[in-house]
Amino acid sequence: MSEEHWTPPAVLLAVDLVILTLRESRLHVLLIERGVEPYQGALALPGGFLQHAEEDLIAAAHRELAEEAAMDIETLHLEHLGVYGDPGRDPRGRVVSIAYLAIAPGLPEPTAGSDAAGARWHRADQVLSGELRLAFDHRRIVEDGVERARAKLEHSALATAFCGPTFTITDLQRVYEAVWGVSLDPRNFYRKVQKTSGFIVPAGPERKATTGRPARLFKAGPRKVLYPPMVRPVEPSNAKEPKE
């Protein structure tokens, strides 16, 4: 083709957001109920079209979040998750969607925005299992987002962000267990976390109210990249061959 005498076709660009949080020790994803066709009434990820040609992609993602879920969270860190651009994924025509991922603690119950009949938290496992059905290819996007979150817990200090400003080691363990969907030995977890230098540092008066011995409080340490990493228990399917 000759680049000089030809105008490239324009494409509709959308952003979709996978917003994950932890509620009652379970991983939840933010979903809206679509207010317009296509898929009116179905559950979907928040998102929408770029508003004008010069709009920054991340800015568009933040704008959609504010519009559709009334979440004006300036500080929410969005990271690129993937591109979903199969022709035919959207009945309105060729829509290429850039997906962003945010993982954050204790996000508020959202309120419905103008575009969406409702925006609510739903359990991620219900989406992954197919118990909840999503519009478009959004289940696939959630799958990718959850897998990304699981991987990030291994190598980054993300888990501390799910806890309050101070937390106990057991609190932190709950985060790993919820996102990974496993249960961990508290004693080995305790030392594993301590040995990963810079991950957590002691904080404040070392007490807390429940039954049992009071736990020490910690806060997030300076390290954002964990070394050594926290490794997920090996899934049986990935496990070592039966014999040799």
Partner DNA sequence: CAAATAGTGTCTATCAGACACTATTAG
Partner DNA sequence: CTAATAGTGTCTGATAGACACTATTTG
Assess 166 for contact with DNA (CB under 7 A): no
The identity of residue 73, as a single letter, is I
Alpha-carbon distance of 179 to 147, in angstroms, equals: 9
* Residue 238 φ/ψ, nearest 5 degrees: -90, -10
Site for its own copies, residues 81 to 110, rule: CB under 8 A: 82-83, 85-87, 93-94, 96, 98
The distance of Cα 153 from the centroid of its chain, to the nearest Å, equals: 11
Report the residue from 140, 192, 219, 223 that binds DNA according to the rule CB under 7 A: 192
Assess 12 for contact with its own copies (CB under 8 A): yes
Report the residue from 54, 75, 209, 212 that binds its own copies according to the rule CB under 8 A: 54
Report the residue from 169, 172, 179, 226 that binds DNA according to the rule CB under 7 A: 169
Please state whether beta strands 200-202 and 218-220 pair in parallel, antiparallel, or not at all (unpaired): antiparallel
- Which of DNA, its own copies, none is residue 83 near (CB under 5 to 8 Å by kind)? its own copies
Instruction: Give 188's contacts (C-beta < 8 A, 6+ positions apart).
Output: none
Report the residue from 2, 188, 237, 238 that binds DNA according to the rule CB under 7 A: 188
Assess 67 for contact with its own copies (CB under 8 A): yes
Distances, alpha carbon 103 to alpha carbons 2, 19, 146, 155, 173, in Å = 44, 6, 10, 15, 17
Instruction: Give 54's contacts (C-beta < 8 A, 6+ positions apart).
Output: none
* Residue 16 φ/ψ, nearest 5 degrees: -125, 150
For DNA, the closer CB: 42 or 184: 184
For its own copies, the closer CB: 57 or 128: 57
- Which of DNA, its own copies, none is residue 77 near (CB under 5 to 8 Å by kind)? none
Report the residue from 25, 41, 56, 72 that binds its own copies according to the rule CB under 8 A: 56
DSSP annotation of 192: H
For its own copies, the closer CB: 24 or 54: 54
Q: Please provide the DSSP assignment of 42-55 as one string.
A: SEE-SEEE-SSTT-
The identity of residue 124, as a single letter, is A
Assess 13 for contact with its own copies (CB under 8 A): yes
CB count in 10 Å sphere of residue 63:
17
Which residue ranges make up the site for DNA (CB under 7 A)? 168-170, 185-188, 190-192, 194-195, 206-207, 210-216, 228, 231, 233-234, 240
Give the residues lining the site for its own copies (CB under 8 A). Answer: 1-4, 8-14, 36, 48-57, 67, 80, 82-83, 85-87, 93-94, 96, 98, 114-115, 197-198, 225, 227, 234, 238-241, 244
